[in-house]
Amino acid sequence: MSIEQLTALEIGRRIAAGEVSSREVTAHFLQRIEGGNARINAFVHVDPERSLQLAEDADRRLAAGELTSPLAGVPIAIKDILCEEGVPTSCGSRMLEGFAPPYTATAVQRLLDAGMVPLGKTNMDEFAMGGSTETSVYGVSRNPWDLERTPGGSSGGAAAVLAAGLAPLSIGSDTGGSVRQPAAFCGVCGLKPTYGRISRYGLVAFASSLDQVGPLAHTIEDIAACLQVLAGHDPRDSTSLAAEVPQYAAQLGRPLKGLKVGVIREHVEHAALDGAIRLAVERGQQQLAGLGAQIVEVHLPHTQYSVATYYLVAPSEASGNLSRYDGVHYGFRQVGSAGAGAASPLDAMISRSRSVGFGEEVKRRIMLGTFALSSGYYDAYYKKGQQVRRLIANDYQTAFEQVDVLLGPVTPTTAFKLGEKSSDPVQMYLCDLFTVGANLAGVPSLSIPAGLDEKGLPLAVQLQAPVLEEPRLLQVAHQMQRAGFFEQKLANDTL
């Protein structure tokens, strides 16, 4: 069995046992990237020399007994939204062209401290605003299962490199589904943890009350191991939770007898839901019942307002976060004459810099958010959106008083064709129907594979749990994995 077909934990075990070195494993994946990335455009920055040096450091630290993580020496891909000192970080935007951060994100530093080896930065929708990785300044990424289809977004590159066997693990960010939707489209696992479970320090902000770093992997065991490295309080992030970090692998083997699983009626009966995905959810119900769980129908009555609420709250926060990119303090600067009617040369420069530096989707969301926050409209839009957000969160709280976890779809459809929705923003936004609720409520949510449809495209289902109940979420998913609901599987190796 070749290295890319092994789980991350198995790779780590072989490295720790001396059967293979981290340098050898890293060189293998770098060779895979060199041969396969051009077809899918998933990596946007790779520094082989640096990765090999980090791998050699991991081998030295392992030999000295300095590393204890089971993922020590294992390569990992990092979304181009997480800062790493001296490494280009562009968020897929011309606005951050040539930017190399002077500091490292806490999540990335924890990976480095554990002895893991970053392979490079992965492609993404510009500033994480998109659901198809089509808004990146680096061009579109392609789904390894079908090169004419999207790998999802905004963490499309992070999911595509797993499906193509270019990396054994990756991390992305999830503001409204940006880890889970790409995971679903690419046939891998993707976790959005509880808001505040993983530090956002060094994560370039989109919507600060929604953004969360999350791991992607082929197996639940790998997700649990990666989360173990990433989770924990960080005083540099004021939203970071001080709660104790449990041993995420400890509960994986516990049986599900007596567990209550709620099936979200508003999701499984939604008119937009593809029939094959509905059947996948039903298959999940049947398997969970066979494992001893009790299946209960639950309601999230404010689901119908979730997309509208999200697209008020998130753009409003983006409007504030992205206002720093003015060509003066931060970001790309477009020089030139002031032009007729300009208020001042400075105003003209800022206007030009933002017009050229930001892409169309980012400008659309900034304008939407700025309008929602503007005088005379704040109460009608942003404030109302926050009030409905509270109702959505209350729905989750009520549901979790009845059940232990929720089961439903991740996406309305399987991976759609590139260009199919890019000219219709509303249709693209509606792809977030089933994912934005978890972000608005701050609860953990996990996408797991559910086989393939008749076109050979990955199917997926979503599990959600109460705040800080990642162990329960991973327990349920692991038992489903053990029972054969899904298995590690790469896309057809045409790369």
Angstrom distance (rounded) from CA 88 to CA 344: 33
Mark whether 154 is an active-site residue: yes
Residues 6+ apart with CB under 8 A from 114: 67, 69, 71, 72, 229
Report the distance separating Cα 36 and Cα 287, nearest Å: 36
Sole residue written with tokens 């009626």? 265
What are the φ/ψ torsions at residue 75 (nearest 5 degrees)? Answer: -70, 155
Strands 43-46 and 170-173: unpaired
Q: Is residue 5 classed as helix, strand or coil in its secondary structure?
A: helix
C-beta of residue 92 within 8 angstroms of C-beta of residue 136: yes
Cα 326 from Cα 95, distance rounded (Å): 9
Which candidate in 21, 51, 69, 79 is catalytic?
A: 79
Among residues 93, 154, 240, 306, the one annotated as catalytic is: 154
Show the tokens assigned to 177: 């589904």
Known catalytic membership, residue 79: yes
Distance from C-alpha of 239 to C-alpha of 208, rounded to nearest angstrom: 9
- Please give the Cα distance from 374 to 294 (Å, whole number): 48
Please pick, among 93, 178, 353, 445, the residue that the annotation labels catalytic.
Answer: 178
Nearest-5° angle of CA 414, CA 45, CA 231?
Answer: 70
Q: What amino acid positions are annotated as catalytic residues?
A: 79, 154, 178
